[in-house]
Amino acid sequence: MTDKAYILAEAVVHYDFTELCRITAVSDDFLLELIAYGVLEPQGRTQQEWRFTHDQLRLCQRALGLQRDLNVNVPGIGLTLQLLQEIDQLRKKVTLLERACPE
């Protein structure tokens, strides 16, 4: 197969405010609230300058799911996501330790 047949996939490094809303289908208001509560901390000072990473995009999708399906409010979403992040970190550590000390 020639190179031409392969489509170039571009790794998205960051998203601006509008892109994040479009891709995650969250409303402007909800996203602003997540930022106001420090659940998402974009780089940049003004809304035009804000840049979000893919980890923040994932957080935004999770936040939306928690609100929509479990009726969690924004402070609750912040707490839940923080705890989930800690669990992820702990899981990684456990995996490493388990590999170092196989039974």
Q: Which stretch binds other proteins (CB under 8 A): 18-26, 33-41, 42-50?
A: 18-26
Q: What angle, rounded to 10 degrees, do the helices at 54-70 and 17-24 form? A: 50
Nearer to other proteins, 10 or 45 (CB): 10
Residues 51-80: x where in contact with other proteins by CB under 8 A, - otherwise, as a string: ---xx-xx--xx-xxx-xxx---------x
The token duo for 17 is: 């405010």
**Contact (Cβ atoms closer than 8 angstroms) between residue 52 and residue 14:** yes
Binding footprint of other proteins on the chain (CB under 8 A): 1, 3, 5-12, 22-25, 54-55, 57-58, 61-62, 64-66, 68-70, 80, 84, 87, 91-92, 95-96, 99-101
